[in-house]
Amino acid sequence: MDEIKNMLSIWKDRIAQTGTFIMPYAEDAEYIGSSAYFYVKQFNQARFFEGEPQSVNRFKEILDNAKAAGYEFATPSEVLAEGNVFENEYVDNIENGVAWHGGTAKAWANTEYSRIMDPVCLSILNGIKAVAEKLGETLDTLNTDLNNAMMALASAWVSDSRWPPAPTSPGRFNVRESLDDMYKANEAIANAMEKGGIAQKRGLYSPNLMKTQIKAIDDLLMGMKYFGE
């Protein structure tokens, strides 16, 4: 905590020297209450999501110290509403594909798990779009079934089931969850087509064929050996 207090002090001095700026601070939600991928990333140990109840207190301590140091908390929308924005001429210099903690989004997209799952997810997304258009909807006005499909697809596409690459790997549970979500998304699209009276229009999207495609990658992925097994 002394190091964090010192960091807050240094940033406070920079504010005084350079003028006001937005200092976003965030923590991966899974690290509040659990160890998440900490041991995998830091110690190359196959320990996933172990309970860390004291992390809640540690996070609160950071927030309390930031407030005591004079920092104000605000959501992005609140900051924008106050008009404290400026144009950043260097945005286009940020490398396409850059990501967090030393990795790149391109690396996430190029693991063997991504290369297997992403094409299936993309096919499901295209199906949602095609069915929505046929039903006279947009991605902003999806009915309940198509919205459920989109939510399940978003969960299926989550990065943790595609990362990290060798010599470690995702947890089997992460990959299993993504596969289950693909099935859910596919079923939700089928429901939308049935209720919309277009179940026979399989040229738009075929839930039956997509189910066999998901099952094919399910067998392939579940047949792999995962980190720690």
Q: How confident is the model at residue 22 (pLDDT cuts 50, 70, 90)?
A: low
Return the percentage of the chain with pLDDT > 70, whole number: 95
Q: What is the pLDDT of residues 24-50, one digit of tens each?
A: 666 677 788 999 888 988 898 989 889
| Residue 103 pLDDT greater than 80, yes or no | no
H, E, C per residue of the chain: CHHHHHHHHHHHHHHHHHCCCCCCCCCCHHHCEECCCHHHHHHCCCCCCCEECHHHHHHHHHHHHHHHCCCCCCCHHHHHHCCCCCCCCCHHHCCCCECCCCCEHHHHCCCHHHHHHHHHHHHHHHHHHHHHHHCCCCCCCCCHHHHHHHHHHHHHCCHHHCCCCCCCCCCHHHHHHHHHHHHHHHHHHHHHHHHCCCCCCCCCCCHHHHHHHHHHHHHHHHCCCCCCC
pTM of the model: 0.79
| Residue 201 pLDDT greater than 80, yes or no | yes
* pLDDT for 199: 98
* pLDDT for 163: 82
* Rounded average pLDDT over 95-121: 84
| Residue 175 pLDDT greater than 90, yes or no | yes
* pLDDT for 69: 92
Q: How confident is the model at residue 152 (pLDDT cuts 50, 70, 90)?
A: very high
Q: How confident is the model at residue 77 (pLDDT cuts 50, 70, 90)?
A: confident
* Rounded average pLDDT over 197-215: 98
| Residue 149 pLDDT greater than 80, yes or no | yes
* pLDDT for 119: 97
